[in-house]
Structure formats: structure tokens, C-alpha cells
Amino acid sequence: MKVNGFFPRWIALCLTILSAVTLASCGADHPSNLLPQDDEDQRIVNLFSPMEKTDPDAENTARSAADLTVAMAEDKLGVTVAYRTYTAEDYQDKSYDDVALERARSDMDDLYLLNPDIILKLGMEGKLLDLSDIDSAKNLRDIIRIANTVDGKLVAIPQEVVAYGLFVNKGMFDQYGLALPETPEDFLECCRVFKENGIETPVGANRWWLETFVLAQAYADLYNGGNTEAEIAALNSGEARYSDYMRPGFEFLKELMDRGYIDAEKASVSEAIEGEGPDFLAQKTPIVMAYWGAANTETAYGKTDFEMQVIGFPSSRGQMPVMPMTGLAVGAEAAHKEDALQVLNVMLSDEALQIYSETNRVISPSKNVKVDCVPALKPLNDRIEEGIYVLGSNAGMRVEQWGNTCLIVRELLAGASVEECMAAFDRLQDETLAK
Amino acid sequence: MNHEPNKQNNRKGLLLSIVLIFCILGTFVYAISRKISREMSDSAIQSLSESLDLIECTIEAILRSEAEFQVLIAQKIAQTEDPEAYIQAYEKNRTMSKISLILSGKTEGVSNSGERFTAEDLDFSAGGTVMGLPVSQSYVNYMGTWSYTIKCPVVRDGQEIGVLYAEYIYDAIDQSLPDGFYNKQATLYIMDAESERFVLKPEGMGMRSAGHLNLADFYRANSIQDPDIQTEVDECLKSGRNILFYHDIRKEKALNYMWAVNGGTVYLVGYVPLEAIQHEGRSINQNIFVVVASMLVAFLLCIFLYYCNWQQQEKFREEQELERRIHSQQLSEALQAAQIASESKTMFLSNMSHDIRTPMNAVLGFTTLLARDAEDAAKVREYTKKITSSGQHLLSLINDILDVSKIESGKVALNLEKFSLNDVVASVDAIIQPMAKAKGQTLHIDVNGVRHESLLGDETRINQILINLLSNAVKYTPEEGHIWFRIIGLKQRSSQYERIRIEVEDDGYGMTPEYLETIFDAFTRAENSTTNKVQGTGLGMAITKSIVELMGGTIEVTSEVNRGSLFCVELELRILEDQTDRQFWEKHGIRRILALIGSQECRENIRALVTDAGLEVETAGSLEEALRLLPEGDFQLALLDWEAFDGVQTARDIRKAVPSSPILFLAEYDADGIEKALKNGRAGVLTKPFFLSAFRQKVEELWSGAETPESQQDASLEGLRFLAAEDNEINAEILAELLSMEGAGCEIVENGQLAVERFQQSAEGEFDAILMDVQMPVMNGHDASRAIRALSREDAGRIPIIAMTANAFAEDEKAALAAGMDAHVAKPLDLGLLKKVISQCRKDAHI
């Protein structure tokens, strides 16, 4: 009887509590203004950055890493960062760099993610703010500081040190008994073997990144020979000619095209990764070139069905990573300049870069942040750790390298001779030094 | 009895009804939920359409205002003298990023950005207009942002003098659009219809990390690959119609839209997750679900409560029913028991009447005959013998009745004392053997496996049990029948207790199963044509069972009519070790004996008992074996089974082999021809069964050289003088007569007080003992005894005082001893017993 008596009491208690809670929920106070009150003083910072095409089935790790740091800045500062972007539909469209240049010149946005040639151009035009005074700049590696300083101003700071390398299908090299190439001769031999074994185009290329081959061969000695400053000074004064440095790389590239190891026609109209990526992933092409982050993200080469390795470009000094410097910059006349600087300060803080580097598995520009890389990147990382690399862009050189070389390589792809290309370099050097 | 299936059917019906109600309710709720969903979906589509209409109208309003403003500028330019100067002086602003003029007849013009302007890069081929003014396709302008140009003719005096081109950027539209809709879950792009390029993603419209390039990219990124949908969309784009369709975006159902603006030159493209559209519908459905679930829970709760209550009532009803049944059963049983008791007591009284009247009739009848034939000594002796027999029967009848009365009232206490199984068997044998012999029956006594004879227990009650069982066996076994009396040692549960089973078996009349059920009930007695001649009170078995249970034992019986009965009693009795055993044998120089025994079982039993006593024993199953062992065995004693061998001859042969060693014959009671064998050297008789204590006693007798006849132990009362306190004159007279027959003198006083006074006055040694009744007027026997013992006379402490009372229970004996008396003799007087007691008391008092 005692046990049976428990149930009614228990049920009565539950019903009482339920009734009380239900009644309590009915008694909400209504404010006099029924509309939710928005924060009228919403601070907005416009960020212009490229946007890779969205793949519904893949995670864009690189994008996620940047988003995390943006979210951190929003949380800490109470600002909203609005994304502005542009993507070229095809090669006939304006490029991202073109649009970024125009937008920065027109003060359309506050923050910009810029390629090295644009950084140099805008820096020289005085369209970018000097970032030397922000706290995060104090933690930068020297190489970053040097590569992004224009006329004594630190005009851009990257969230990662971008290193370009050759992405190779190790399985295919093993299949034909080939060692990974160290020198241009090795590379040509590998291409020959692949070609003879029915691989139509051993090297997948696009219209953007072929200059990495050229730059690797051009500046392998300059950056690793122990006389860098003097050689750059000679180039800036006109005593040395860029064409002399560039010639071996262009000749090598020309040979690759002539022998059919690179499909020049296709490369000249291909966007990065979109053009050559599918063949590489399908194991029809054993070699492509790309940046470090492509090895980490599924939208590029982060998920392959074969063993992939990333090595440096062939040069007289062996495998050579090429490191251009993209960077975040603040417009000199930006509408929300102060907020943009604060956002940038947070995005480049050690805390944010740690998250960025861990998410994206890249080399951090901060000397305080160290992250292990994925196994595929180890050969490239080892060279960088040894201090052996070539800068793809250097604001210390009067003649901008990354963008100009790219454009002149496109001319080579379009059928120009090596001599014509060298003449273009000479012309460019003369015009620049004349200013 | 037919109610159970009906009840089950009712329950099934109820359950089905509940399930049916729930099904109907569920269907109803589902239908309502679907209806609400549909209505809310329609409403949401309408709401989305209205939102898109609003955005469309906003954009069109902007375009119109731009066109109107441009027309005004064109009119202004027409009025100016130098239109190109006007344009060059026109200040740039955020909305109109560039304004240019190409005068008629020229291919180049000027713009407010300062550079030369041509219309070559502008594409008006799509035919889009705003207020009749052509609108170009969208393009990325010099500011790096998407823009469009409207051209407007500049007319002066009815003649077109040039064309005004004004470039507008889409970012300007963004400023006039809402900051997201559907709680910022809706995605929206502005698309140039001709190029299908996405030219603007307004602030707050969709995921900020998603940036789509064009319609194809939108399809790819959102997996809109259905050709039918794409075709439908293409047709809509061509005709400038709107389209809404359902399609899952990232695994969530979404409503996708293409909404024409400005007659289809620009489209609003995007999607809204259905969850965002049907937020209210979902919320209402959830609330309905909660209400229905609550009602369901409440309903189930009610059913549960009803069930609990019903079960409780059912349980209560069942309990009541059970209680009523038990009560009825108890009443019925009580009535039956009362009837049985009444019948039993009626029968008992009838039996008692018969049983008491029968010996009483004999007493009175023979008394009459005695009075008549007083002169004839032979007849007097015969009559008195019969009167004595009848009196003894009456006495046993009364004793039994009193026993039952005491046992039933729980007043029986066991008198635990040391006793020997040997004594018990011997005394029972002495009583039962004559009865059995008288009926020509054979009584077999067998003791096996008993390791300890000296035990602690109530010997009197054990005797009572055995005599009850055995006397019944004798009574209910016809002449020439057989009775077996066995004591079997069982496996001990504790080393301190001897566990024995007593079996009494006969091949007599047996009992019916019905009678077996009531055999241990009081006042029942087996009666049939064969046994109704048997005298009995019908109390013996009830007393026996009560005593056994009082001792913590069990009693069982099995029986079959005309086949006999078997009673089994199991008892556990505390062991009392006799430490003097080894010394006894050493004292008499006995170390080794030879036992010539017929039965193997008996041999083993004797071997075990004798070995335990510290003696070595050799057993032989044949005379030859015994004769082989004897010469070299150094035996101090031979034990010979009389019945198993030709006793006399075997005794002779043994005697020849050991001329000097004593021989003990193990023989049945009253064995034939044994006297002859006893004359042949040192020999004695040990009555079966073999007990170590009896064996010791016989050895003692043999070694001391003489056996004291029991008769010699009886003491004569001749010449003694007694003081007797007895208030009953008849009893006093009988006592005086009996004592005088024995040659003793007796002085009678009427109460205890007088007895005390008389003893006080007597000279020392005047009385040899005091016989004291207990229940007397003035002073009872106990007080008198205490008073006597308290006297200062020297002999007051040692003169034997013997209680003679009708209070015959053990408690009475204890009380008498406690009052200072030396012994207790129950009435009616047994002269033999009285003589023995007096003799023992005098011996103890050294008189």
C-alpha cells in the first residue's frame, strides 16, 4: 500500500511543477517598442579577397583558416568584416589582380589580400598604409619584412609564407624507375621517359604559375650565393640585367614547350588548378606546380588517390622552393582605416596565426609560431628550413618580378621567342629605372 | 468460472478501442499538421514573393530615378553652350561613377574622369531599357566593381546633338536594399541576365564565404543539375518571367528563385531554406506536437492511474476474498475439529467409562467374592491377584490421562540425567520379554552402530516411549508373531551428540491409511473385530509423539493392514564419556579378547565398541577359526555367541583350548541349556544385545567371583519401626497392614504437624524412617519434612523421610527432594518398590 501510495503523490508533484512552469511561461513582459533593437553603430570593415569557386562536396581549408582569424577579430573588436570578392570567368576577363588594383586605387575597400606585384605597384603609388607600427608586425620573420617593404614602408603582411613547388605523383615516378629531379637536366630526362611511355603532357600548367620555373633558375644563385644584397643593388642600378638572370629559365621553359612536355596552348588559357588539376588528380599528368596550401585543401590537391610529394623546382642548386609574398594590406584612404588596422592586428597576432597555421598546416610569417607540415610537403619544407629558397617577389627590387615575369611567360606561351622575352625584360628594366 | 474469458475479451476490446482512438487522433493530428504546413508554405511563398517584389521595385525605382536624373542632365547639357566642358566639370560621385558625352558625328567623346571616351566597350545589344533609355550589359569598371551604363540622347531644339553615357555601379543599389531577409538565411545575388554573371551580392544576403561567379557556378556549387529545372530557368530568363522551385541546398530543402527586375535585364537569384520559410509552420507543428504529446501523456497517466487503482482494488478484493476463504476454512476446520473433539471426547468418555468400569467391576466383583469366600485361602489368593491386576490397569489408565493432560498444558519438563542405553534396553527387555513370551511372540533385540552408551537424557521418558511402542507391538501382534526392537547408531551431526534411531517393527495386524493419519491424535484407538479386545486408553501414541518432540526428535510410522507396522524414532542425545574405561580393563588385566560371533554385523559392532574401550579384539565367525586363534592369541577372555553355535559343545571346545580363561556367553533372554555350560569353569551370561557397560559389569562379577542375585538386594523390613503421616484413614490402615505383614511396626499420625511433634518427642532410634504423605491438613508433608530437618536433634538430619503421595509426577519428586526428603514413592503403594527404597535410604544414611 505504501508503494502504491507513492505514485499519486509523485504524479501530483509533477503536474504541479508542470502547471507552474507553463503558467510562468505565459507571463512575459512586452517592451513598448516591439521591434528588436539593432546596434545602430555597427562598424564594418570591407575585405577584398579572392574566392575560390565553391565546391558543394569539399571543405576549403584555406578559406576556413582565414575565416577563423576574421571571426576572432570580429569577436575581439565588435566589428563586422564584409567580404568583397571577384573571380574572373575566363582569361579574357579582368584578372583578380587587375580588379584589386583598380579597387585599391578607387578606395573601394578597407583591407585587401594582394599578390606581390600589386603590393609593389600600390606601395609605390602610396596607396597602402605603413603597417610597421601595428603590434603584430613585431613578430614577423625578417624575410617577410624585407620582401614587403616598399620605400621603407611595410605595406603588406601575409598570414602564411607561400611557397611554390612541384607537386609530383610519386607512384608514377616509381613506376618508371625515376628519381625525383634535382636539376633542369634531371627534369628533362624524367619528362622524356614519361613522354616515351605514353604520357602526352608530363607537366600540367596554367597561365599563372609557370614563372616559378623561370624564377627558380634565375635567382637560385642570387638568393643562395651569399652576395644577395650586392646583386640586387646591381640590378636596381642597372649594372646587372634581369634578362641575364632570366634567360636560362626561359630557355628551359621553351625547351619544355618545344618538346611537348608542356601544352603551351592549353596553359595560356587555363586558370590555376582548374586547368591542370583534374588531369593530375586522374593520374594522367605526373607533375604540376602549385602553392603550399594546395597540398592541404580538398578543393585543390589535399585528397589524392596516390602518393603525392611536393618538391622544389629544378635548378643548378638542386630543388628550389619559390616563395612569393601575398599579403594583407590596408588602403591608405580607406573609409574605415582605423578599424581595418585593428582587424589586421588581430588577424596577424600570434594567437590568430597559430590557429591559421594549425588549420592550414602552413609556414607562419610569425617567428613565434611553429607547426608541423603534412608528409607530402616535407621535402619542400626541409629545403626552406635549410634556408634554401628563391623569393618570387621582392619589394627591394625596383622591377617587380612576380607579375612581370608571369606576363612575359605568357608571351612565351603565346609564341614569342626567348630573345623577344629577354628584350621585354630589358625594356621593363630600362623604363623602371628611368622613372 | 466463465467470467475469466469474458474479462479477457473485454480487456482486449478496451485495448483495441484505445489503439483505434489513438490511430484516429494521430491521423487527425497528422492531417491538421500537413494542412498547416501547406498553408504556411503557401503563405511563406507568398511572403517570399512579396519580399522579392519589394526588392525588385526598389531596384527598378533606383534605375528609374537614375534614368530620370540622366534625362535631366541631358536637358541641362542641351542648354549649355559647351556640353563637353560641362561633362569634364561634372564631379564624380558614388552612384554615378562616370559620365561621358559623345557628340553626334563623333566616335570619341569626353568623360568626367578626364580621359577620352568611346562607346566601343559598351554592349547595348541585349536591348534592355529603363524608361526607354538603353542599358548596357554589366561590366567591371575602372574602379574594379560591377557597373552598367545608361545612354541618353542629348536633344537641342528637336535635334540630337550627342549621346550622354552615365555609368552606375551596382554597389549603389546595395545601399538601398535591406540588410538580409528571412533572418539573414536567404541568399541573394543580382545577376546580369544577358551574361548570367553575378554582379552583386548585397550585404547580409547569404553566407559571406560563398562567392559565386555566374549562374553556372551557382548551379554547380548548389548541385542544381536537374536538366528540367535548368531548361525551365533558361526559358524564364529568355522571356523575363519569374520562377520559384524547390531544391535541396547542402542537404536542406530550399526554395530557389530567379526573379526578373526591369523587364528581365537583371535577375535576383538565390534561395531560402524551407526551414526559414516555414519557421512559423514548424513552430506551430511543434507546438501541436507538444500539446498532443502532453495530452497523450496525460491520457496515459490517467490510464495508468486507473490501472493502478483498479489493480489496487482488485488486490484488495482478492485479499478480502482470500481472508474470507481462510476465515471460512478456519471456521469449518474449527467446527470440524470441535466436532471431532466432541466425538473423540464422547468416544473417550465412552471408552473411559468402559475401561474404568471394567476393572472397577472386577475389583468390586472380586471384593464381593472375597467377602463370600474369605475362608477359602486359595480363592482369596486368586481373587486378590485379580483385584491387584485390575487395580494396576486402573492405575495405568489414570497415569496416561494425567500425562496427556500435562503434556497438552505444556507442563512437562524433562529430567535430564546420565543414563546408559544398556540399562534402558535391559529394563525394557525385562518388561516386554515376559509379555511377548506370554503371547508366544518372538522379540528380537538388536543394537548396531551405537558408539556411546553413556548418555544424558530423561531415562524414564525414553523408557516410556519404548514401552509404549513395544507394548503396542505386543498388543497388536497376534500370537506366534514377531517383534523387532532395534537401536541403530546414525551418523553423528556433532561429536558431542549420539544420534540414534529406534525401530519397533512387528508383523501384526497393521493399520489402515486412514487410521495412520490420526494415530498420534489423542483419544484415538485402532478398533476392529480383531483388536477391539485389546485394552488401551488411546493416549499412548499421543503421549509418545509429544515426548519425542519434546526431546527434539521425530517419530514416523509406516504400516500395512495384516502385514505389520514399523515405528521409527530418531533422537539426538548428549554423550557423556566414561573416563574410567581404560583403567578398568588395566585393573583387571584384560588387554585382548576373542569374540566368536555368528553374525558379521554383530562382529563388527562388538569390534568397534571393544576397540573404543581400549581393548584388542580378535573376532571369529567359526569355531575352527576361534580354535586356531586361541592357542597363540594370549586372550584374557572369550566371548561366545550362544545362539549362533551349538552352545554347550562349543563351550566345551573353547574351554579345552583355554582351560583357565573366563568365557562369557552372549545369549538371548532365558536361553536354553546355558546353566549347564556355566558349570564348566569360569563363565557368565551376557544378555543380548551386546553393551559395553553390561560387558563390564559381567567382567566385574566374574573377576569378583560371585553374581549377586537381584532378589538378594531386596531388604527385609522385619523389625523396623516407622512413623507414618497419613490423613486418609483407609490408606493409613492399608499401610499399617502391609508393613505389619512384613513384620514392621508403624505409628500413624494424621498430619505433618503431628508427625513433627511425634518425632520430636521420640527417643533417638525409636523410628527407622518416616513415611510422609504430602497433601495433609494443618501441615503438609513438605513443611513437615523441613521442620523435622530443622530440628536440633542429632538424627533429625539423617533419618530417612520417604514421600508417599498420589502426586506422582517428576516435579512432585523434585519438590519432595527439595523439601529435605530422601525418596519419593507414588501411590498406590508398590510394596516391593517401597522395600527397595527404604533399604537404599537406610544404606545411604548408614543406619
Closest Cα in chain B, distance from residue A413 (Å): 27
pLDDT of residue B281: 64
Does A180 fall in a domain?
Answer: yes
pLDDT of residue B9: 76
Residue type present at position B53: D
> What share of residues in chain A are helix, strand, coil (percent, to 5)?
50, 15, 40
Which chain A residues are closer than 8 Å to B143 by Cβ?
102-103, 105-106, 108
Does B94 fall in a domain?
Answer: yes
Give the model confidence (pLDDT) of A102-150 as tens digits: 999 989 999 999 988 888 889 989 999 999 999 999 988 887 888 888 8
Q: Which of B173, B202, B236 is the last residue of a domain?
A: B173
Same domain, A212 and A117: no
Same domain, A121 and A134: yes
A101 touches chain B (CB under 8 A): yes
Same domain, A217 and A151: no
| Length of chain B, in residues | 847
Does A3 fall in a domain?
Answer: no
**Is the distance from CB of B234 to CB of B196 less than 8 angstroms?**
no
Same domain, A225 and A262: yes
Does B71 fall in a domain?
Answer: yes
Domain that holds residue B250: 177-277
Measured between alpha carbons, how far is B146 from B92 in angstroms, rounded to an integer?
A: 17
* Mean pLDDT in order along chain B per 10 residues (847 residues): 63 79 82 78 83 91 92 91 88 82 90 88 88 91 90 91 92 84 86 89 74 83 87 89 88 89 91 79 75 81 84 90 90 82 69 68 80 82 80 76 69 78 81 84 85 84 87 88 90 85 91 83 54 56 85 90 91 76 76 83 81 81 80 79 77 77 79 72 79 80 58 64 87 84 88 91 88 88 91 86 78 84 82 81 70
| Higher per-residue pLDDT: A149 or A25 | A149
Which chain B residues are closer than 8 Å to A91 by Cβ?
none
- Domain tally, chain A: 2
Give the model confidence (pLDDT) of B720-758 as tens digits: 899 999 888 888 888 888 888 888 888 999 999 999 999
Does A28 fall in a domain?
Answer: no
Interface residue of A68, A95, A106, A359 to substitute, partner B, most B CBs within 10 Å: A106
Nearest-5° Cα angle at A239, A233 to A244: 100
Measured between alpha carbons, how far is B770 from B789 in angstroms, rounded to an integer?
A: 12
Task: Report the CATH number at residue A65.
Answer: 3.40.190.10
A237 touches chain B (CB under 8 A): no
Q: Do B217 and A4 touch (CB under 8 A)?
A: no
pLDDT at A342 over 80: yes
Which chain A residues are closer than 8 Å to B197 by Cβ?
89
Same domain, B778 and B829: yes
What mean pLDDT, rounded, does chain A reach? Answer: 86
pLDDT of residue A63: 64
Residue of B143, B301, B304 with shortest CB distance to A102: B143
Cell numbers of A224, please?
643562395
Q: Which of B255, B277, B299 is the last residue of a domain?
A: B277
Same domain, A186 and A256: yes
pLDDT of residue B712: 42
Same domain, B680 and B656: yes
Does B761 fall in a domain?
Answer: yes
* Neighbouring C-beta atoms of residue A150, cutoff 10 Å: 20
pLDDT of residue A135: 92
Residue of B145, B209, B308 with shortest CB distance to A63: B209
Cell numbers of B275, please?
526551414
Same domain, A158 and A212: no
Q: Do B203 and A106 touch (CB under 8 A)?
A: no
Same domain, A312 and A331: no
pLDDT at A168 over 90: yes
Which chain A residues are closer than 8 Å to B222 by Cβ?
56
Interface residue of B97, B199, B209, B319 to substitute, partner A, most A CBs within 10 Å: B209
Interface size between A and B, measured as CB pairs under 8 A: 70
**Is the distance from CB of A129 to CB of A341 less than 8 angstroms?**
yes
Q: Do B217 and A103 touch (CB under 8 A)?
A: no
A4 touches chain B (CB under 8 A): yes
pLDDT at A1 over 50: no
Which chain B residues are closer than 8 Å to A45 by Cβ?
none
Residue-by-residue DSSP string for A226-287? S-HHHHHHHHHHTSS-HHHHHHHHHHHHHHHHHTTSB-HHHHHHPPTTTTTHHHHHTTS-SE
A86 touches chain B (CB under 8 A): yes
pLDDT of residue B581: 64
B245: closest CA among B260, B228, B262, B261?
Answer: B228
Same domain, A312 and A332: no
**Is the distance from CB of B430 to CB of B470 less than 8 angstroms?**
no
Same domain, A115 and A62: yes
Which chain A residues are closer than 8 Å to B183 by Cβ?
none
pLDDT at A253 over 60: yes
Same domain, A266 and A367: no
Residue of A56, A100, A105 with shortest CB distance to B223: A56
pTM of the entire structure?
A: 0.52
A82 touches chain B (CB under 8 A): yes
Task: Report the CATH number at residue B123.
Answer: 3.30.450.20
pLDDT of residue B214: 86
Domain that holds residue A123: 43-162+325-376
* Neighbouring C-beta atoms of residue B283, cutoff 10 Å: 11
Same domain, B496 and B521: yes
Does B34 fall in a domain?
Answer: no
* Neighbouring C-beta atoms of residue B602, cutoff 10 Å: 21
Same domain, B563 and B588: no
Give the model confidence (pLDDT) of A289-339 as tens digits: 998 888 887 778 988 999 999 999 999 999 999 988 789 999 999 999 999
Work out the percent of chain A whose per-residue pLDDT is above 90.
Answer: 50
Same domain, B469 and B615: no
Give the model confidence (pLDDT) of B663-687 as tens digits: 888 887 667 777 777 776 777 888 8
Same domain, A238 and A304: yes
B487: closest CA among B468, B469, B471, B500?
Answer: B500
Assembly ipTM: 0.74
Task: Report the CATH number at residue B804.
Answer: 3.40.50.2300
pLDDT at A288 over 90: yes
Confidence of residue A172 (pLDDT cuts 50, 70, 90): very high
Residue in chain A nearest B203 by alpha carbon? A82
Give the model confidence (pLDDT) of A35-44 as tens digits: 655 555 678 8
Which chain B residues are closer than 8 Å to A122 by Cβ?
none
B88: closest CA among B108, B115, B69?
Answer: B115
Q: Map residue B571 onto helix, strand or coil.
A: strand
Interface residue of B145, B194, B314 to substitute, partner A, most A CBs within 10 Å: B145
